[in-house]
Amino acid sequence: MDHHQLVKDCLKGNAAAQRRLYDLFVGPMLGVCYRYTKSMVDAEDVLQEGFIMVFRNLYQFSFSGELGGWIRRIMVNTAINYLKKNSRYQADLLFTDGGLHPVTDDDPEVLLSTKELAELIRQLPPGYQAIFNLHAIEGYSHVEIGKILGIKEGTSRSQYARARALLISWINKISAVNKNENSYARPKV
């Protein structure tokens, strides 16, 4: 599908083209929104707000990059703004300037499905979750994250390190449980 022509048709007010653009990106963008929120209802709210922003600002799409990437950035920014203004998340988005916790470079010895790993990430406190998603998933630098969230670069690094350490500890616990279950489940020959 030619995204450039689709954008041009949307800008002309073509409702069918707008619906095609929405249908093309709704699934992946709902996934993006869900990574930042704690419920599907909140993710759908973010998605709705995000698509409103997409259609309001579609004239700013420069055709120099990928349309999906441009829409993704809008969704991420909409999700972060939603977290900042939603009272359910505000208390959990307090960022501290504490020092870095040591983080091991050891990779956990467990195989998790993408869905299981995503669920672990969703269990992080919202502040950790937002920074982890922005850095590890979306690829933002800590400088960029600091600007987006209004925090210092060092705070972003610290929160990311804490989120990563917490995820590693959870994965290691899952690994230990799995090893114990497997040793009992398999008879030794």
Q: Are 150 and 130 in contact (CB under 8 A)?
A: no
CATH number at residue 140: 1.10.10.10
- 104 and 46 in a single domain? The answer is no
Boundary of a domain, candidates 74, 90, 106:
90
CATH number at residue 39: 1.10.1740.10
Distance CA(46)–CA(43), nearest Å, equals 5
Boundary of a domain, candidates 21, 55, 90:
90
- 110 and 161 in a single domain? The answer is yes
Number of domains in the chain: 2
What's the distance, Cα to Cα, between the start and end of the chain in Å? 57
Q: What is the chain written as a DSSP string? A: --HHHHHHHHHTT-HHHHHHHHHHHHHHHHHHHHHHSSSHHHHHHHHHHHHHHHHHHGGG--SSS-HHHHHHHHHHHHHHHHHHH-HHHHGGG----PPPPP---PPPS----HHHHHHHHHTS-HHHHHHHIIIIIT---HHHHHHHHT--HHHHHHHHHHHHHHHHHHHHHHHHHHHHHHHHHSPP-
- 179 and 99 in a single domain? The answer is yes
Q: Which domain holds residue 71?
A: 3-90
pTM of the model: 0.71
Boundary of a domain, candidates 90, 110, 130:
90
Query: What is the sign of the dihedral through the CA atoms of 50, 146, 131 and 69?
Result: positive
Note down pLDDT in tens along the chain; length 189 residues.
Answer: 689 999 999 999 999 999 999 999 999 999 999 998 888 999 999 999 999 999 999 999 998 889 999 999 999 999 999 988 886 665 555 555 444 343 444 444 446 777 888 888 989 988 899 999 999 999 999 999 999 888 999 999 999 999 999 999 988 888 777 777 665 544 443
